[in-house]
Chain A
Amino acid sequence: MKRVISLLFIAALAVLLLYVVASMPPMGDPKNPTATHVIPRYLERAEEETHTENVITGIILNYRGYDTMGEVTVIFCALAAVLAVLGRERRGKIFGFVDRSEVPSSTIVKTMVRFIVPFIILFSVYTIMHGETSPGGGFQGGAIIGGSMIIFTTIFGLYESSRRVPLRLRAALEGSAVMGFFLVGVLGLVGGGNFLTYAWPRVAGNLQPSLVVWLTVLVEIGIGLGGAMVLVSILFAMIREEEEIAPAA
């Protein structure tokens, strides 16, 4: 019965939405409202105003930096929420269900993973730092680090990976994304502009482009590091088991 009601509702919604699609501006048309109103200014002047070649990075860190600050707050909030539900480990050894697996990973797998993970992390550092000039950016790099830690944890177990990324490190760096934004924001206030203006420091009264780039990179690193630590912490919280729980079959 519930299925039927839901199907009817969804069918009505689908008809409504497809009707909307038929009335929308044509896709790919350069004369769309989306392509003509605000975009030309971004595309033409982004390089001079934000000193990044990747226009998207310029938008998310500079023009619409406040949204990105909200985004890093969302990910931090997700961490706080997951920890509120699952609890943080006490200082000491932690175990996860992967540690109890009766089928240990083979030597081939372990060697390969041990070999590859450093390169993955190197790639993610590249993604973070080079986000100005190529597709990439802070959070993308952080997510790659998170992914590499998932691989590592799956193969080697939670005990090993928690030794590599200990609680102290994670707890210290989780907030770095929000802190980075706050720092830049306050610097903007100090420099006489509004919050989050890349207005400081000024040298001889002028805003040096290289310093603006440095500030942008600082924020990117903060986002990358903070995002990575948050993802790793969430991973550990979800996999972790109290030692009293009997090993599941």
Chain B
Amino acid sequence: MRLLHNYHYAAAMILFCLGLHTVIVRRNIIKKLIGLNIMETSVFFFYISLGYLKEGIAPIRVGGAEPARMVNPIPQALILTGIVVAVSVTALALSMVILLYRQYGTLDVDRLMREEEKGEAVGGGEV
């Protein structure tokens, strides 16, 4: 049936859900970020599979390649941008993690939240 035929898409969706679950449930911040990266990668995988063509060849016009057999180039172009975006978000997230670790000494989200309540009792947030 169609679901099995579109197995690339199905795999991508399952990875997406696994990644989202990791982001929500894990207590360690680094693991949450890994979950985020899994989500992003699954979406990239989904996009590229959209362009798949049976017996397709690369969309480069060299040496008599016929356009009709070329794989769809648009998702690949979009994903180049998407990968850069994902890298940027990860870089920013990791630099915040570095700062958080220096300031709080923990990578555990629950302990960070408890710091928050303690902070609130003292006098509220800064600035």
Is there a chain B Cβ closer than 8 Å to A205's Cβ? no
What's the dominant secondary structure at chain A's contact region?
helix
Residue of B nearest to A78 (CB): B88
Contacts of A134 in B (CB 8 A): 60
In the complex, whether B28 has a CB less than 8 A from a CB of chain A is no
CB-defined contacts of A67 to chain B, threshold 8 Å? 77-78, 81
CB distance A64 to B77 under 8 Å?
A: yes
Q: In residues 32-80 of chain A, which contact B (Cβ within 8 Å)?
A: 34-35, 38-40, 42-44, 46-47, 53-56, 59-60, 64, 67-68, 70-72, 74-75, 77-78
Give which listed residue, A6, A27, A77, contacts B9 with CB less than 8 A: A27
Number of interface residues of A (CB under 8 A): 59
Question: Which residues of chain B have C-beta atoms less than 8 A from A28's C-beta?
Answer: 52-54, 56
CA of A6 to CA of B22, assembled, Å: 10
Cβ-defined partner of B91 (8 Å) among A2, A9, A82 = A82
Q: Using known A-B contacts A10-B17, A238-B94, A238-B95, determine if residue A56 contacts B8 with beta carbons closer than 8 Å.
A: no
Q: In whole angstroms, how far apart are the Cα atoms of A237 and B99 in the complex? A: 11
| A14-22, A101-109, A155-163, A168-176 - the one binding chain B | A14-22
Number of A-B contacts defined by CB within 8 Å: 154
Secondary structure of the B contact surface, majority rule: helix
Q: Does A23 contact B (CB under 8 A)?
A: yes
Bound-complex Cα distance A35 to B86 (A): 26
Known A-B contacts A22-B2, A26-B6; the reply to A74 vs B85 at CB < 8 A is yes
Q: How far is the CA of A70 from the CA of B20 in the complex (A)?
A: 26
* A234 CB contact (under 8 Å) in B13, B25, B91: B91
Interface 1/0 per residue, B42-82 and A, CB below 8 Å: 00000001111110101111100001101011111110110
- Chain B contact residues, CB within 8 Å of chain A: 1-3, 5-10, 13-14, 16-17, 20-21, 24-25, 49-54, 56, 58-62, 67-68, 70, 72-78, 80-81, 84-85, 87-89, 91-92, 94-96, 98-99
